[in-house]
Chains A and B, each alone.
Chain A
Amino acid sequence: MRSESLWIQIVQQTQMRWQDLLQALYQHIQLVFFSMLIAIIIGIPLGILITRIKSIEGTVLGVAGILQTIPSLALLGFMIPIFGIGIKTAVAALFLYSLLPIIRNTFTGIKDVNKSTIEAARGMGMTDYQILSKIELPLSLGVIMAGIRTATVINVGTATLAAFIGAGGLGDFIFLGIARNIDALVLIGAFPAALLALCFDWLLGLLERVSTPRGLKA
């Protein structure tokens, strides 16, 4: 009985607010996209850098690790004094949150490339840059993509909290639903968020497989 009324509610609310919903979805994707973009642009070079400079390896991985253990809401809170309220803060926090999987996978991906392959390449006269671009990165691309995938999926979920600091996204619906005690609203926010995570996961999984070099596949 109750579930039937919930279903009716959902349909009603969706009909009423579908434009808002699309808007929120769009914002949500934006939050994820920009924070991930920055995380990739900064995380991959950092991951490469710590394979080269052993002395900063512990610090970088440690800091990224600590960042990820900070509860997401607290991290958002910390960001407010710096960037104020709104999208910037949310993107910054989500970016920090996504760094670790990307740095770590880039680092281990490159570290796991067979040492003798690299030694042979260096011995034959490949430069450091050629070794990085022609051997290390292609061979660790699958692992790096897996890191990006993990980060993205976590990011989609965490981005729902952005609504707390006025950054919009699907979280708006969830919090509105909780505030007004309308279950249907919570679900209208939560369901697309879950779907979005699954979509990204599938898409990036596909990319991960495509990016694994042919010679490595069983």
Chain B
Amino acid sequence: MITFNRVSKTYNDGFTAVKLLNFEIKDGEFLVLIGPSGCGKTTTMKMINRIIPHTQGTISIDGNDINKLDPVMLRRNIGYVIQQIGLLPHYTIEENIALIPKLMKWNNDKIRNRVTELLHIVGLEPEIFAKRYPRELSGGQQQRVGVVRALAANPDIILMDEPFGALDPITREQLQDELLRIQAEMRKTIVFVTHDMDEAIKLGDRIAVMKEGELLQLDTPDKLLSNPAHGFVEEFIGKKRIYQNPEFIPVTDVMRENPATTLPTRTPALAMSFMRQRKTDTLIIGDGNGKLLGIISAYDLQAEKDKIKTVEEIIKPAEIVLEQSATAKEALLEIAHAPFGIIPVVDESRRIVGVVTRGSLLSMFASQWSEEKGEINEK
């Protein structure tokens, strides 16, 4: 666990780049630092391995004040990946990865096995790449080596400063996926700096939003999106982004309230006229307390209307129901399987609060789209 306790950094010129940081990074956690340029992300990250010494407060790793540790030993247990990659140009790929294990005096067999293993992890065939020099690799391949070089000596912590920032979007996406795969397996404590919100949401277990040297909010991606603690955070995340991620929209935002409901004791004729009036081809059936009983369709009603006394006889159970706390994403996934294309939404005591239909989903996203289009036109 990495702990920041009232940590500040004032540079020699008197500029305070980060102010009174107080937070913890748990073991095995993927923490993303994000914020506008110059807000102190890099400074915060580099204070952890003492590349930048902090000027106030304490940073400790597993309870040990890092200022009391030998910086070289501290760094050997912390992997380090930077945007510029920084492979040694006069070392082969193999030698680059082996650098720290060698300094730590691992035996040659162990080093060779480790290099082979790591190259396989990032999909670089050792037979082809081990003996090449960095300049004989593409940018994406070089950064793959940069990432596994940081893993080589099996550190518990990895610091990454915009590691994919210089890569083209497709390569970046690939490396993000590989990093997630590696992380799922190795469970390192990762501190990752980016200014790409999409990247932060995709990778982070938690995201720390910084502004002008201060930490504004540190939360899981969905908490951050659903409940930004600060106007700046909301602005920085971008409202639009929330709608690009339906898992962060509550289902109540995409449902139709006041759906056409009726009691099971109604006669077919009454139900028919109610449907006509509400311009719908389904009715939600609830009991006297508004609790969900099922659904009837206009089709069944038409076919059976002469044989039945009340609609109760043709109620179909609602096979798919969503709780109020569900998200729009679940609604999107379920709507295709819902009988009659309608999903009732209920509260904790199964009282009907609304329905999701294809129409309600569509109109929600359509209104988002037209808002966005409006914004673009304004610019």
A-side interface residues toward B, CB under 8 Å? Answer: 114, 116-127, 130, 134-135, 138-139, 213-216
Closest 8 CB pairs between A and B? A120-B86, A213-B90, A116-B84, A123-B80, A125-B75, A215-B133, A125-B76, A116-B86
- Give the distance in Å from the alpha carbon of A139 to the alpha carbon of B88 in the complex: 9
Task: Judge whether A124 and B133 touch: CB under 8 Å.
Answer: no
A124-B79 contact in complex given A130-B103, A215-B133, A215-B135, C-beta closer than 8 Å:
yes
Who on chain B is nearest to A126 by CB? B103
A116-B100 contact in complex given A122-B51, A215-B92, C-beta closer than 8 Å:
no
Contacts A121-B99, A213-B89 known; list 8 others, CB within 8 Å.
A116-B84, A119-B51, A119-B86, A123-B49, A124-B100, A125-B103, A213-B90, A216-B135
Task: Judge whether B80 and A124 touch: CB under 8 Å.
Answer: yes
- 29 A-B contacts, Cβ less than 8 Å apart? A114-B84, A114-B89, A117-B86, A117-B87, A117-B88, A117-B89, A119-B84, A119-B86, A120-B80, A120-B82, A120-B84, A120-B87, A120-B146, A121-B88, A123-B49, A123-B75, A123-B78, A124-B75, A124-B149, A125-B74, A125-B75, A125-B76, A126-B103, A127-B72, A134-B88, A135-B88, A214-B90, A215-B88, A215-B134
Task: Judge whether A125 and B159 touch: CB under 8 Å.
Answer: no
Task: Judge whether B86 and A121 touch: CB under 8 Å.
Answer: yes
Task: Judge whether A216 and B86 touch: CB under 8 Å.
Answer: no
- Interfacial chain A residues near B333, Cβ < 8 Å: none
- Interfacial chain A residues near B78, Cβ < 8 Å: 123, 125
Nearest-neighbour CB distance to chain B for A205, whole angstroms, equals 20
- Interfacial chain A residues near B159, Cβ < 8 Å: 123
The B interface, classified by DSSP as helix, strand, loop or mixed, is: mixed
Who on chain B is nearest to A134 by CB? B88
Nearest-neighbour CB distance to chain A for B250, whole angstroms, equals 43
Who on chain B is nearest to A135 by CB? B88
Task: Judge whether B85 and A120 touch: CB under 8 Å.
Answer: yes
Task: Judge whether A116 and B82 touch: CB under 8 Å.
Answer: yes
Task: Judge whether A119 and B82 touch: CB under 8 Å.
Answer: yes
A-B contact count (CB 8 A): 77
- Give the distance in Å from the alpha carbon of A158 to the alpha carbon of B79 in the complex: 53
Give the most central of B76, B87, B149: most A CB within 10 Å: B87
- Interfacial chain B residues near A124, Cβ < 8 Å: 75-76, 79-80, 99-100, 149-150
Binary interface profile of B, 36-50, with partner A (CB < 8 Å = 1, else 0)? Answer: 000000000010010
- Interfacial chain B residues near A135, Cβ < 8 Å: 88
- B236 interface contact, C-beta 8 A: no
- Interfacial chain B residues near A130, Cβ < 8 Å: 103
Task: Judge whether B86 and A139 touch: CB under 8 Å.
Answer: no
- B73 interface contact, C-beta 8 A: yes
Task: Judge whether A216 and B75 touch: CB under 8 Å.
Answer: no
- Interfacial chain A residues near B80, Cβ < 8 Å: 120, 123-124
- Give the distance in Å from the alpha carbon of A122 to the alpha carbon of B134 in the complex: 19
- Interfacial chain A residues near B23, Cβ < 8 Å: none
- Interfacial chain A residues near B46, Cβ < 8 Å: 123
Task: Judge whether B51 and A123 touch: CB under 8 Å.
Answer: yes
- Interfacial chain B residues near A117, Cβ < 8 Å: 86-89
Which residues between 60 and 111 of chain B lie within 8 Å of chain A, taking CB atoms?
72-76, 78-80, 82, 84-92, 99-100, 103
- Interfacial chain B residues near A134, Cβ < 8 Å: 88
- Interfacial chain B residues near A127, Cβ < 8 Å: 72
- Interfacial chain A residues near B84, Cβ < 8 Å: 114, 116, 119-120
- Interfacial chain B residues near A116, Cβ < 8 Å: 82, 84-86
Give the most central of B72, B73, B90: most A CB within 10 Å: B90
- Give the distance in Å from the alpha carbon of A43 to the alpha carbon of B60 in the complex: 43
Nearest-neighbour CB distance to chain A for B150, whole angstroms, equals 7
